[in-house]
């Protein structure tokens, strides 16, 4: 199948390559030419614009940073809807505000284009090996139609409800991940200051109730002081902003999320915004004066 793919960053590039590996044709576009060139080298065709992608493909996937980017790429001049045809399908795999997904879907439906929101979790490693978790909102019939395509990129694809439900689920995921990294960083800061080897603490507790996927993924990075981004601090700030905004809109109160947001904002202003969100540990290292290693 010929599939359009717009947005070839840390996550989008390996996802597009996995579609190629599965035998699909990919027509790719990104504002960064180097990213396009990399995917073209893997077998994709390059497009001139988002509208050009839509003209050439009945199914288009977007993987973009935030709500305004998706709105521009879909609804803007020379955007997807400028080139789309009635009956086309848009799968937005960006992590954006649920309300924005609903607005964009309304614009798509007015053009006769079907849309689902399908954000992902798992970071760059799982995007590379094709095992990301995909959470989907929209028309169930459209989900069923594209399920096999989603599974070329993911280890699971779960239908969560109406349009926006995928992004609501992703926000819940991002709240849990952020709070978990903060909890791990705080606990290991305690053990470090108390003079207990953090590697031994990790070995002792990872198999118990405190163990988690987050701990297993992030503690080795923290112990090595390796903050190469799999998921950047600045992107997590974006997600928690969307979570807090959505919470205000629906009457859900997120005091722990707000506290971790302050830590992330501090890291951003200290110059760590482009590092992995495991850099939450840096905040604790700064306030305690002891590195977790």
Q: How would residue 123 be classed by pLDDT, with cut points 50, 70 and 90?
A: confident
The total number of structural domains in the chain stands at 2
Q: How would residue 230 be classed by pLDDT, with cut points 50, 70 and 90?
A: confident
Residue 293 lies in a domain: no
State the burial class of residue 86 (Cβ atoms within 10 Å of its Cβ: 0-12, 13-18, 19+). exposed
52 and 176, same domain (yes or no): no
36 and 51, same domain (yes or no): yes
The terminus-to-terminus CA distance of the chain in angstroms comes to: 48
Residues 17, 55, 126, 170: which is the catalytic one? Answer: 170
94 and 157, same domain (yes or no): yes
pLDDT value at residue 25? 98
Whether pLDDT at 146 is above 90: yes
Structural domain span for residue 35: 2-162
Average pLDDT of the chain, as a whole number: 97
226 and 267, same domain (yes or no): yes
> How much is the average pLDDT of 180-209?
98
Whether pLDDT at 211 is above 90: yes
Domain end marker among 114, 144, 162:
162
Taking the C-alpha atoms of residue 72 and residue 83, their distance in angstroms, rounded to an integer, is: 14
Whether pLDDT at 240 is above 90: yes
132 and 257, same domain (yes or no): no
Domain end marker among 141, 162, 183:
162
> Could you tell me the CATH number of the domain that includes residue 261?
1.10.1040.10
Domain end marker among 162, 196, 225:
162
Per-residue pLDDT of 23-66, as tens digits, reads 999 999 999 999 999 999 999 999 999 999 999 999 999 999 99
> Could you tell me the CATH number of the domain that includes residue 48?
3.40.50.720
DSSP-derived 3-state class of residue 276: strand
Active site residue 193: no
Q: How would residue 104 be classed by pLDDT, with cut points 50, 70 and 90?
A: very high
């Amino acid at each position: 199948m010929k599939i359009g793919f717009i947005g070839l960053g840390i996550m989008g590039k390996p996802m597009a390559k996995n579609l190629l590996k599965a035998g699909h044709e990919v027509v790719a576009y990104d504002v960064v030419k180097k990213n396009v060139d990399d995917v073209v080298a893997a077998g994709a065709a390059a497009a001139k614009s988002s509208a050009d992608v839509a003209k050439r493909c009945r199914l288009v996937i977007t993987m973009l940073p935030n709500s305004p980017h998706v709105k521009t790429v879909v609804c803007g001049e020379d955007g997807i809807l400028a080139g789309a045809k009635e009956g086309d399908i848009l799968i937005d795999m960006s992590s954006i505000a649920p309300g924005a997904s609903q607005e964009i879907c309304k614009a798509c439906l007015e053009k006769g284009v079907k849309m689902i929101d399908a954000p992902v979790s798992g970071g760059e490693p799982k995007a590379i090996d094709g095992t990301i978790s995909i959470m989907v909102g929209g028309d169930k019939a459209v989900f069923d139609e594209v399920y096999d395509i989603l599974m070329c990129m993911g280890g699971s694809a779960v239908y969560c409800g109406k349009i926006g439900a995928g992004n609501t689920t992703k926000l819940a995921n991002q709240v849990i991940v952020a709070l978990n990294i903060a909890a791990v960083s705080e606990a290991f800061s305690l053990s470090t200051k108390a003079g207990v080897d953090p590697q031994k603490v990790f070995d002792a507790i990872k198999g118990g109730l405190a163990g988690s996927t987050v701990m297993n993924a992030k503690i080795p990075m923290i112990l090595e002081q390796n903050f190469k981004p799999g998921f950047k601090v600045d992107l997590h700030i974006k997600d928690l902003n969307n979570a807090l905004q959505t919470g205000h809109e629906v009457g859900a109160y997120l005091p722990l999320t707000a506290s971790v947001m302050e830590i992330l904002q501090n890291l951003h202003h200290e110059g760590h915004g482009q590092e992995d969100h495991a850099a939450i540990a840096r905040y604790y290292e700064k306030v305690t004066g002891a590195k977790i290693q």
